[in-house]
Amino acid sequence: MMRTMKAAMAWIATVCLCGCAGTLPAPVHPIPVDPYAALIERAPLGVAPDEDMLALPPDADALLDRVLQNAHSPLQKVDAIGSLFGPSGELGLRYEPLATGTAAETLATRAGSCLSFTSLYIALARRAGLDARFREVVRSVQWDLLGDFVLMNRHIAAYGEIPQFGTYTMDFGIVESDEPTLGHVISDARARAQHFNNLGALALTNGDAAASVRYLTRALTIDPNLAYVWSNLGTAYMHLDDAERAEAALRHAAELVPYDVTPLNQLARLFEIDGKPDLAQTYLDRAGQARLRNPYVLFQRGLEARKNGEMDAAISYLRRAVQTQPDDIQFLIELGQTYRMAGRFDRAKATFLDANSRATTSDERRALYDAIGVKLDDEANAAIPET
């Protein structure tokens, strides 16, 4: 059974998983045409130094040599390195959701979040010649309250592919070759951006908003497309009483991901503090109407409708989820399944073909082939069958 580990990202926000779309109300403060140039390239408070989150100390080689002395196959190496982790692992690692560190720091302190543990595992696995990548389980989200802050925790694990074996997911030192929940493999750069985001969130919860801005700015130099980092940056500027930059960052976050409710709630709070209750209520109303636009909410409602035999409603919900999040293979698979259950076989085949063209990992291909009844061993010759 997998142990859950989560990476912390913090902001003051209403706890909600919904989103919004459409044109935002007119800005109150002057909004830069290019928020990245204004807030990141010309960062008024500077930017935190970059760091290699996968760098290992010299003594890591001795640790690996000892652990791998009886491990010869790739799968044995996966298991051997995984045995270092977990509550009974040799390293004696302690899970601390706000302990954000590089691989080297995690090895030294023996404490970290899921992102910290995953960075350490990936660094060791790659040093041993294994395929190891970051994998975000996007629907494994939890919310926690820490003082005045709401923390949204996303689950991170390590993912790899082994020739003639398949795939593995390393989560707290346990190998899971067949997972019920799909995730997205993300780049090292995106994981590093999340690392600095977490440092920024931690600084904000500790009352150092200026340091938070510097960490979040660094995160956005690495990956400027992460809406939640822009939202956190806006929140940090709110704590510095910089309403102009706060509004610019929050509006940009809302434009990047129109269904994300967090920046809308933050804008409502900003204008409530600024003495503009009507505008604050406008943003609250927008957030309240947004729930049905969130693709993950639509996805769940689609599954519920299908379970209740409401096939037209299920198809409608799932199609809207796919339109918002077209690269989520699970959405496409379930939409294809629903078309097939409704007897719309041509639409089912077209949807499965779309999923097949978007699949990038063995996990995604396995899920698709399971849905259409093709064995993974037949992948090289697989074709979407007539349904």
Domain ranges for the chain: 1-289, 295-381
Shared fold status for 1-289 and 295-381: yes
Contacts of 106 (CB under 8 A, 6+ apart): 93, 99, 112, 116, 117, 119, 120
User: For the chain, how long is the longest CA-to-CA vector?
Assistant: 68
Q: Which of 110, 130, 123 is nearest to 56 (CA)?
A: 123
Per-position b or e across 114-153, b if 16+ CB within 10 A of its CB: bbbbbbbbbbbbebbebbbbbbbbbbbeeeeeeeebbbbb
Q: Which of 211, 250, 214, 259 is nearest to 232 (CA)?
A: 250
For β-strands 111-112 and 174-176, DSSP reports them as unpaired
Classified by CATH at the fold level, domain 1-289 comes out as 1.25.40
Residue pLDDT tens, the chain, 387 long? 232 222 333 333 222 222 234 578 899 999 999 999 999 999 999 999 999 999 999 999 999 999 999 999 999 999 999 999 877 788 888 888 778 899 999 999 999 888 999 999 999 999 999 999 999 876 544 444 445 554 555 678 899 999 888 888 887 544 444 444 557 889 999 999 999 999 999 999 899 999 999 999 999 999 999 999 999 999 999 999 999 999 999 999 999 988 888 899 999 999 999 999 999 999 988 887 766 678 888 888 999 999 999 999 999 999 999 988 888 888 999 999 999 999 999 999 999 999 988 887 777 888 888 888 755 444 433 445 444
Classified by CATH at the fold level, domain 295-381 comes out as 1.25.40
Asked if 355 and 368 touch (Cβ cutoff 8 Å), the reply is yes
Question: What CA–CA distances, in Å, run from 48 to 102, 105, 216, 217?
Answer: 15, 17, 8, 7
